Chains A and B, each alone.
Chain A
Amino acid sequence: MEFAYYPGCSLENTGKPYDMSIREVFKSLGVGLREIEDWNCCGATMYMSVDKIVGFAVSARNLALAQNMGLDICAPCSSCYTTLRKTNRHMEWNLHSRKLINESLKAANLSYEKMVEVRHPLDILVNDVGIDKILSACPYEFDGLRIAPYYGCMIVRPVFDFDDLDDPMTMNTLFSALGAEVVDYPDKVRCCGGMLMTTFEEVALNLNNHLLQCAEDNGAELIATTCPLCQMNLESYQSQINRKFNLNHHIPIVYFSQIVGLALGISPAKLGMNTLLIQLPNLKLKSKASRVAV
C-alpha cells in the first residue's frame, strides 16, 4: 500500500506535530507515503472566494502531480482534503471547466485526465489498514484515557463517504479498540470557525468555547482532532477564551494520529507531543504484555 502524500501548508508549520505523527504511524504500519514533489497550496477556502477557475487550477496542479506518480493522495488537512476532492468533483461535473483547468495546467506542461482519489489518513488507517492490523502492531494500550473525538466539518461534509454525517464513529471505534475511553461528544461535527478566528474573532471564540466546554462537561481529558486548523483554534486560543468568558479551560488538543502513534510505541518526541502548547499530564499507557501476565 502506498499513497502520494500531500501534507499541505499548515502541516509544515502550525500543524507540524500532525505531519510528524502521520509519517511515523504510516511508517510503523508499513504504509508507504511518498511526498508529492514540489506540491503547492491547495487554495483552501480562500481562492474559491476570488476566482473559481484559478482556484481549481491551482488545486489541480497537485492532483496532476499525483496522477503522474500513479498514486492516490493521502491528505491529512481537512481543508486540503475537501478542496482537492471538490476540484475532482467539479472537473467531473463540468466538462467546460475541465477544459479550462487543463488549458491552464498546460502552461506548466501538465494535464489532469485520470482522476486520482483523495483520501483522509483516518479513512486509510481504519478502512484500508484495518483496526485488527493496527492492534496487532501495538505493544501498548491505553488505560482509561478519556478522549473526546472531534471530527470537525470537512471530513464528513459536504460529501460523506467513509463515515456518518451526523454521528461519525471512525475515531470512536479506533480509540476504543486501543483501550481508551471515548466520551460522549455531541459537538463532534460542529464547526470551530476555521478562518473566522482571524477575521471575526468574537464568533470563533464563542464556537471554540462551546467545543471545549462540551468536552470538559463530558469528562474528557483531551480532545483528538483530524484537522490542523481545528487543532490550532482549540489549543492556542484557550487563554483568550478564558479571559473573555472568565473560565479555566486547560485541556490538551492532540491529533488522532498521535494517539495511534503512542499505542504503537513510537516515542512521544517523534510524534511531536512536546510541541503541543498544552501538554498531556498522563498518557495512561500500559504495555499489553503486563495484562497478559496478570
Chain B
Amino acid sequence: MAKKFFVVPVKKREEELRAAFWEQIKSIPRGDKIQNCIQCGTCTGTCPVSYMMDITPREIVALFRAGHLEDILHSRAIWICASCYSCRVRCPSGILVTDLMYALKRLAMNKKIYPPKFPVHALSKAFIFNIYKYGRNFEIGLAIRYFLKADPKKLLASTGFGFAMIKKGRISLLPKSIKKVKEIRAIIDKAKQLEKEGA
C-alpha cells in the first residue's frame, strides 16, 4: 500500500469507535452529509442550549474530523441537546444535526462512555425500563428512578409541585399497564435481537 503523507495515525481505540460511529451514521437519512460540514457554526448559533455545552455542535464535527471521537463521547454536550431540531432546519449543508446527536448518544450508550458526574443517560434507561414493564411511561416512577440514581436531593425539592399536581389529579401514583404488555415485550425482544445480529 502506498504510504500516505500528512495523515496523523489514528489510535486503535479511536478507529474502533469510528467504525461503530459510521455504522450508526449509515442508518440516518443523509447521514454521510456530515462530510459536507463547512464549519459555519449556524448549528451552534441557533441552538438554544449551546451556551451551556462544553463543546458546541460545530466543534463536535471539528473534533470528529480531527480524530477525537472519544472526547466527544465524554462530553456533556450530546446529553444537553434537548432535541429541538433548530440546528437541523437551519444547517446550510443539510446535515441532520439532531439525528447526529442521537447517533452519538446511542454510540455512547453502546460503548458505555459517559461524561463524569453527569448521569443523564440514566433517564433514558429508566424510561425504557418503564416501557418494557408497563408499555407506557409512568411519570412519577420515572422521576423517582432517575433522581435516586442521579440526584436524590432533587426528589425532596420536587415534592412541592408533585403534591400540587397530585391534588389536581394530574399525577397518578400507580403505574397503568397496557393490556397486551406481552405484545410490546415480544416486539422489543425481537427488535433487540435483530439489531444485535445486524451490528
| Bound CA span A191–B198, Å | 35
In the complex, per-residue mask of B174-194: 1 if CB is within 8 Å of any chain A CB, else 0: 001011100110111111101
Q: Is B16 an interface position by the 8 A CB rule?
A: no
Q: Say yes or no: B191 contacts A101, CB within 8 Å.
A: yes
Q: Say yes or no: B88 contacts A158, CB within 8 Å.
A: yes
| Bound CA span A47–B132, Å | 11
Q: Say yes or no: A58 contacts B146, CB within 8 Å.
A: no
Q: Say yes or no: B171 contacts A13, CB within 8 Å.
A: yes
Q: Say yes or no: B170 contacts A16, CB within 8 Å.
A: yes
Q: Count chain A CB atoms within 10 A of each CB in B105, B124, B125, B170 and give the residue with the most.
A: B170
Say which residue of A52, A108, A199, A239 sits within 8 Å of B106 (CB atoms).
Answer: A52
Q: Say yes or no: A50 contacts B109, CB within 8 Å.
A: yes
CB-nearest residue of chain A relative to B30? A93
| Bound CA span A207–B109, Å | 27
Q: Say yes or no: B191 contacts A61, CB within 8 Å.
A: no
Known: A51-B191, A93-B29. A157 touches B84 (CB 8 A): yes
Residues in B neighbouring A97, C-beta threshold 8 A:
27
Number of B interface residues at 8 Å Cβ cutoff, please give it: 64
Q: Say yes or no: A157 contacts B168, CB within 8 Å.
A: no
| Bound CA span A106–B193, Å | 13
| Bound CA span A43–B136, Å | 9
In the complex, per-residue mask of B87-118: 1 if CB is within 8 Å of any chain A CB, else 0: 01100000010100010011001000000000
Q: Is A236 an interface position by the 8 A CB rule?
A: yes
Q: Is A177 an interface position by the 8 A CB rule?
A: no
| Bound CA span A57–B184, Å | 9
Q: Is A69 an interface position by the 8 A CB rule?
A: no
Q: Say yes or no: A43 contacts B131, CB within 8 Å.
A: yes
Q: Say yes or no: B170 contacts A13, CB within 8 Å.
A: yes
| Bound CA span A240–B138, Å | 24
Residues in A neighbouring B194, C-beta threshold 8 A:
53, 100, 103-104
Residues in B neighbouring A194, C-beta threshold 8 A:
82-84
- Determine chain B's interface SS by DSSP, over half rule: helix
Known: A13-B172, A94-B29. A53 touches B191 (CB 8 A): yes
Expressed in whole angstroms, the minimum distance between the Cβ of A17 and any Cβ of chain B is 8
Q: Is A137 an interface position by the 8 A CB rule?
A: no
CB-nearest residue of chain B relative to A90? B29
Interface size class of A (residues with CB under 8 A): 35 or more
Expressed in whole angstroms, the minimum distance between the Cβ of B117 and any Cβ of chain A is 12
Say which residue of B29, B48, B89, B130 sits within 8 Å of A165 (CB atoms).
Answer: B89
A-facing residues in B138-162 (Cβ within 8 Å) = 138-139, 143, 146, 150, 154, 160-161
Q: Say yes or no: A158 contacts B180, CB within 8 Å.
A: no
Expressed in whole angstroms, the minimum distance between the Cβ of B34 and any Cβ of chain A is 16
Q: Is A138 an interface position by the 8 A CB rule?
A: no
Q: Say yes or no: B183 contacts A61, CB within 8 Å.
A: yes
Q: Count chain A CB atoms within 10 A of each CB in B27, B29, B128 and give the residue with the most.
A: B128
Say which residue of B84, B106, B121, B186 sits within 8 Å of A51 (CB atoms).
Answer: B106
Q: Say yes or no: A196 contacts B123, CB within 8 Å.
A: no
CB-nearest residue of chain B relative to A56? B191
* A-B contacts besides A58-B131, A154-B85, A236-B164, 12 pairs, CB < 8 Å: A9-B138, A10-B137, A45-B83, A50-B124, A58-B188, A58-B191, A100-B198, A107-B187, A108-B180, A194-B82, A195-B123, A201-B154
4 closest Cβ pairs, A-B complex: A191-B84, A157-B85, A104-B191, A108-B183
Ordered by A's residue number, 8 sampled pairs between the chains whose C-beta atoms are within 8 Å are A45-B83, A52-B102, A53-B194, A61-B184, A89-B29, A107-B189, A154-B85, A276-B168
Which residues from chain B sit less than 8 Å from chain A, CB to CB?
24, 27, 29, 48-49, 52, 79-80, 82-86, 88-89, 96, 98, 102, 105-106, 109, 120-121, 123-125, 127-128, 130-131, 135-139, 143, 146, 150, 154, 160-161, 164-165, 168-172, 176, 178-180, 183-184, 186-192, 194-195, 198
Which residues from chain A sit less than 8 Å from chain B, CB to CB?
9-10, 12-17, 38-41, 43-54, 56-58, 61, 89-90, 93-94, 97, 100-101, 103-108, 110, 153-154, 157-158, 160, 165, 190-191, 193-196, 198-203, 207, 236-237, 239-240, 274-277
